[in-house]
């Protein structure tokens, strides 16, 4: 089980070195005319992360970081709350929210212990937020709790295959570096990530009352040549990500 030490560790990480780097790229995301998702900027027209009919719905972004996903939801007419554990990430999100004049609530807190009442939302989303940085055994039951019956959860996270091939430093190669068992909690040098293998994730989602509607595995575009930074220390070549999925999009709904 992830401990509060993992939450504190990741908060320090995101309040420290990562906040500066992330703050710089936030503006480009806020300015984007169409939402794009993940490492390979998969367009919303292909990813479909934002459901039709979101206008007027109550939405929460879990691990909202610099808040651009929340901004896209707000522009689509949703009533949005973004929650993040790191104050500096939220400071960037608040500055951009005020600059863009959007109606968007931003709250500091742990996605594994949400400060919201049962059934408070119709839609929950996470793009490399809680979906990567919070223990799924904590945040997925919490997402289920705060969603109303029929509520939808959509999240983008690294694929388990990518998590098994990702080096501590340097370029990702087609080589399995760690077993699938133990993948759930990946304690790196400065932060802790989480990646539940597919079978366990399906069991957890179903156990929380979710019906699985879609799993999309985006790959790098054919004409993409540049590698992507995955973390501060690691990259993945576009050629790798054309042959295997680096990331995946899950769409589930409370039954
Ligand atoms: C990659 S960033 C956010 C993704 C967002 N789409 C963005 O790029 O701004 C990951 C975020 O997860 C947040 N985070 C980490 N652990 C968390 C937790 N337990 N609860 C809520 N947020 C958390 C971090 O503070 C960080 O802002």
Domains of the chain: 4-29+54-158+197-227+248-254 (3.40.50.150)
- Chain centre distance of CA 34: 18
Q: Which residues contact 10 (CB under 8 A, 6 or more apart)?
A: 85, 133, 134, 191, 192
Rounded Cα distance between 212 and 197, Å, is 15
Does ligand 1 have an atom closer than 6 angstroms to the CB of 69?
Answer: yes
Does ligand 1 have an atom closer than 6 angstroms to the CB of 89?
Answer: yes
Ligand 1: residue whose CA is nearest its atom 14: 63
In the reported structure, the alpha carbon of residue 133 is separated from the centroid of ligand 1 by a whole-number distance in angstroms of 7
Instruction: List pLDDT tens digits, range 26-44.
Output: 999 999 889 999 999 999 9
Does ligand 1 have an atom closer than 6 angstroms to the CB of 85?
Answer: yes
Residue 77, pLDDT above cutoff 90: yes
Of 149, 86, 69, 139, the closest CA to residue 111 belongs to 139
The answer to whether 50 and 72 are in contact (CB under 8 A) is yes
Q: What is the DSSP string of the chain?
A: ---HHHHHHHHHHHHTHHHHHHHHHHHHHHH-SS-EETTTTEEHHHH--S-TT-TT-EEEEET-TT-HHHHHHHHTT-EEEEEES-HHHHHHHHHHHHHHT---EEEE--TTS--S-TT-EEEEEEESSHHHHS-HHHHHHHHHHHEEEEEEEEEEEE-HHHHHH--SSEE--S---S-STTTTEEE-SS-EEE---HHHHHHHHHHTTEEEEEEE-----TT--S-EESSSSEEE-HHHHHHS-SEEEEEEEE-
Residue 2, pLDDT above cutoff 70: no
In the reported structure, the alpha carbon of residue 67 is separated from the centroid of ligand 1 by a whole-number distance in angstroms of 10
Where does the pLDDT of residue 3 fall: very low under 50, low under 70, confident under 90, or very high at 90 and above? low
Residue 207, pLDDT above cutoff 50: yes
Where does the pLDDT of residue 21 fall: very low under 50, low under 70, confident under 90, or very high at 90 and above? confident
Query: Over 131-153, what HEC string results?
Result: HHHCCHHHHHHHHHHHEEEEEEE
Instruction: List pLDDT tens digits, range 91-103.
Output: 999 999 999 999 9
Task: Look at residue 1 in the predicted model and tell me its pLDDT.
Answer: 46
Q: Which of 3, 5, 65 for mutating ligand 1's site (highest number of atoms within 8 Å of CB)?
A: 65
What is the atom index within ligand 1 of the atom nearest the CA of 89?
A: 27
Task: Look at residue 189 in the predicted model and tell me its pLDDT.
Answer: 92
Does ligand 1 have an atom closer than 6 angstroms to the CB of 73?
Answer: no
Task: Look at residue 86 in the predicted model and tell me its pLDDT.
Answer: 96
Rounded Cα distance between 128 and 64, Å, is 9
Rounded Cα distance between 84 and 102, Å, is 18
The answer to whether 223 and 140 are in contact (CB under 8 A) is no
Average pLDDT over residues 201-223: 98
Tell me what the pLDDT averaged over the chain comes to: 95
The answer to whether 168 and 205 are in contact (CB under 8 A) is no
């Amino acid at each position: 089980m992830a401990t509060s030490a993992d939450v504190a560790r990741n908060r320090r990480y995101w309040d420290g070195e990562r906040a500066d780097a992330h703050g710089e790229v936030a503006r480009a995301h806020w300015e984007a005319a169409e939402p794009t998702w993940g490492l390979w900027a998969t367009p919303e027209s292909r990813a479909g992360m934002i459901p039709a009919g979101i206008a007027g719905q109550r939405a929460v972004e879990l691990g909202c970081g610099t808040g651009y996903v929340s901004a896209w939801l707000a522009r689509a007419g949703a009533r949005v709350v973004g929650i993040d554990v790191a104050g500096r990430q939220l400071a960037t999100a608040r500055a951009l929210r005020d600059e863009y004049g959007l109606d968007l609530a931003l709250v500091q807190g742990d996605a594994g212990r949400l400060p919201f009442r049962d059934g408070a939302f119709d839609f929950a989303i996470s793009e490399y937020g809680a979906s990567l940085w919070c223990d799924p055994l904590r945040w997925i039951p919490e997402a289920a709790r705060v969603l109303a019956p029929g509520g939808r959860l959509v999240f983008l996270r690294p694929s388990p295959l990518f998590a098994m091939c990702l080096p501590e430093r340097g370029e990702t190669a087609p080589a399995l570096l760690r077993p699938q068992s133990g993948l759930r909690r990946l304690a790196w040098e400065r932060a802790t990530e989480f990646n539940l293998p597919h079978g366990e994730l399906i069991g957890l989602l179903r156990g929380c009352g979710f019906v699985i509607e879609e799993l999309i595995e985006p790959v790098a575009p054919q004409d993409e040549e540049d590698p992507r930074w995955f973390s501060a220390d690691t990259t993945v070549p576009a050629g790798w990500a054309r042959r295997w999925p680096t990331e995946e999009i899950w769409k589930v709904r409370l039954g």
